[in-house]
Amino acid sequence: MTVASTRKLAVEEIRKDFPILATTARGRPLVYLDNAATTLKPKSVVEAVQRHLLLGASNVHRGVHYLSEKATADFEASREKVRSFINAREKAEIIFTAGTTAGINLVAHSYGSLLKAGDEIIISAMEHHSNIVPWQMLCERQGLTLRVAPVNDRGELDLTALEQLINQKTRLVAIVAVSNALGTINPIKHIIDLAHSHDVPVLLDAAQAVAHISLDVQALDVDFLAFSSHKLFGPTGLGVLYGRRELLDRMPPFLGGGDMIRSVTFAKTTYADLPAKFEAGTPHIAGVIGLGAAIDYVNHVGLAAIAAAEDELLHYGTRCLSEIPGLRMIGTAEHKTSILGFVLDDIHPHDIGTLLDQEGIAIRAGHHCTQPLMDRFGVPATARASLAFYNTKSEIDTLVQAILKVQRLFA
Ligand SMILES: Cc1ncc(COP(=O)(O)O)c(C=O)c1O
């Protein structure tokens, strides 16, 4: 693992922690610019997962033997790492899920079951489908109404419009902390304070935020926060839902099964305490242990240093791309993370993605699971280069040259 100061990262050293960065794609050196889709995994994460699977594989919580006790201790140690990483009050408020999507669905089902016809949920126009569809399904099931706060041409949330949407019937504001399509960093503390001044709880979709900005759930005073391990350099198929205890205690379980019960008879089942109440079935044990290693890695490199390095890349990339004639940036908010969304005149983003792939460059092209946002910007799709702290300016130069080549091909 690489030691780095909080001021300047030793990127070439850091890149050695991610062996995939030294590989090729289509015969060219890999340029991985699809970090918003999933982040790469450092060796320490893979080693932690491998150690568990090869030498410690066992089920958690129920065992009476050595291996099970060890797996349980490692699993719970990771929960503590997550608690500390987002500064939750207690471990019981950290629920392991299958990902951000699963966490939001849990809240939509469980907290949602406490709501009634006529109640309202507010989201924004820049939400990922996973923070739209679960609420639409809840609205259909129970007769609620979904309200959508608009975004401006730069891709910033209209806070005045958001405030006007809050009324006596509002039961939740569910908002993305950082947009995966635009990179916009929303003023989450302001939004939470605003909603709380009307006694409305807030759910943050932190899928894109968690690897880029420090999230302190107590300082934010947020009620729910969901993120995915795989966007924080950890394994896929795993996520975290933070919930404020007062709310989680009032909410019924979502999935029923093993591990979430206190006692079962055919007459009546009583439920376990938090967090087990929301963790039915055998969890993703290896994944949780890997996520713990990912958090250790991020803490070691330092989130502040990561953010500073990515900010520098973002500004360099924005400047370089903006100079390309016929390129329009989609997402030009004043406060952004390292996402470069763009379209080219007369060239479909899928063609851009396919041709860049021939150069060994991995970007994403499509609607990014934000179809309503694409409609808002009047485009069917965008090309998206998303950067992480292990990327370099020279990789951005390669991207720019490849885009110019695409334009020449289509000229
Ligand atoms: C902003 C945002 N929310 C939610 C999700 C869903 O995450 P997952 O597919 O890991 O559940 C994503 C994934 O891209 C995302 O970018």
Q: What is the pLDDT of residues 68-88, one digit of tens each?
A: 999 999 999 999 999 999 999
Provide the CB-side half-sphere exposure for 274 (13 A, CA). Answer: 19
Q: Which CATH number covers residue 71?
A: 3.40.640.10
Q: Which of 8-12, 89-93, 295-299 has the least mean pLDDT? A: 8-12
Q: Are residues 263 and 335 in the same domain?
A: no
Cβ–ligand 1 contact at 386 (below 6 Å):
no
Closest atom of ligand 1 to 99 CA is 11
End position of a domain, from candidates 274, 299, 324: 299
Active-site annotation holds for 320: no
Indicate the pLDDT class of residue 7, thresholds 50, 70 and 90: low
Q: How large is the average pLDDT for residues 180-202?
A: 98
Nearest protein CA to atom 12 of ligand 1, as residue? 207
293 and 306 share a domain? no
Residue 333 shares a structural domain with residue 261: no
C-alpha angle with apex 298: 247 to 330, nearest 5 degrees? 80
Residue 272 CA, ligand 1 centroid: distance in Å: 29
| Mean pLDDT of the 126-146 span | 98
- Same domain for 126 and 258, yes or no, is yes
Find the 136 Cα to ligand 1 centroid distance in Å.
17
Residues in the chain: 411
Q: Nearest 5°: phi and psi at 337?
A: -100, -175
Query: Per-residue pLDDT tens for 24-39?
Result: 999 999 999 999 999 9
Domain finish residue from 265, 299, 333 = 299
Distance 63 CA to ligand 1 centre (A): 34
359 and 236 co-located in one domain: no
Residue 4 included in any domain? no
Per-residue pLDDT at 153 exceeds 50: yes
Q: Is residue 185 part of a domain?
A: yes
Residue 1 placed within a domain: no
259 and 319 part of one domain = no
The pLDDT-based confidence of 1 (bands split at 50, 70, 90) is: very low
Say if strands 261-264 and 339-344 run parallel, antiparallel, or are unpaired.
Answer: unpaired
Task: Evaluate: CB of 176 within 6 angstroms of ligand 1.
Answer: yes
Residue 287 lies in a domain: yes
Residue 5 lies in a domain: no
Number of compact structural domains in the chain: 2
* Residue whose CA is at the smallest distance from ligand 1 atom 16: 180
The residue with tokens 């489908």 is 129
What is the C-alpha separation between 30 and 13, in angstroms, rounded? 17
The token pair at 285 is: 């044990």
Q: Is residue 215 part of a domain?
A: yes
- Say what the pLDDT of residue 308 is: 96
Whole-number Å distance, alpha carbon 104 to ligand 1 midpoint, is 10
Q: Single out the catalytic residue among 37, 320, 369, 379.
A: 369
Q: What is the Å distance from ligand 1's center to 231 Cα?
A: 8
124 lines ligand 1 (CB under 6 A): no
Clarify whether residues 191 and 207 are in a common domain: yes
Task: Round to whole Å and give the CA distance between 58 and 71.
Answer: 6
Ligand 1 neighbour 101 (Cβ under 6 A): yes
Atom of ligand 1 lying closest to residue 228 CA? 10
Q: Which domain holds residue 33?
A: 11-38+302-410
Check whether residue 290 and residue 367 sit in a common domain.
no
Q: Could you check whether the bond before residue 275 is cis, i.e. omega within 30 degrees of 0?
A: yes
| Ligand 1 atom closest to 236 (CA) | 10
Ligand 1, atom 14, residue with closest C-alpha = 37
207 lines ligand 1 (CB under 6 A): yes
CATH code at position 334: 3.90.1150.10
Same domain membership, residue 327 and residue 363: yes
The preferred substitution site among 35, 105, 128 for testing ligand 1, maximizing ligand atoms within 8 Å of CB, is: 128
Q: From the CB of 234, is ligand 1 less than 6 Å away?
A: no
Tokens at residue 69, please? Answer: 């006790």
Domain stops at, among 260, 282, 299: 299
Task: Give yes or no for residue 47 having a pLDDT over 50.
Answer: yes
**Are 102 and 149 contained in the same domain?**
yes
What pLDDT is stored for residue 286 in this prediction? 98
Residue 3 counted as domain residue: no
Distance of CA 265 from the midpoint of ligand 1 (Å): 38
- Which of 101, 213, 364 for a ligand 1 pocket mutation test, highest count of atoms within 8 Å of Cβ? 101
Beta bridge partners, 149, equal 124
Query: Mutate which of 180, 224, 227, 384 to test ligand 1's pocket (most atoms within 8 Å of Cβ)?
Result: 180
Domain check: are 144 and 290 in the same one?
Answer: yes
Q: Are residues 78 and 191 in the same domain?
A: yes
User: 């950890």: which residue's tokens?
Assistant: 234
Q: Tell me the angle at which helices 285-301 and 43-51 cross, rounded to the nearest 10 degrees.
A: 150
What is the percent of the chain where pLDDT is above 70?
Answer: 98
pLDDT of 2 above 50: no
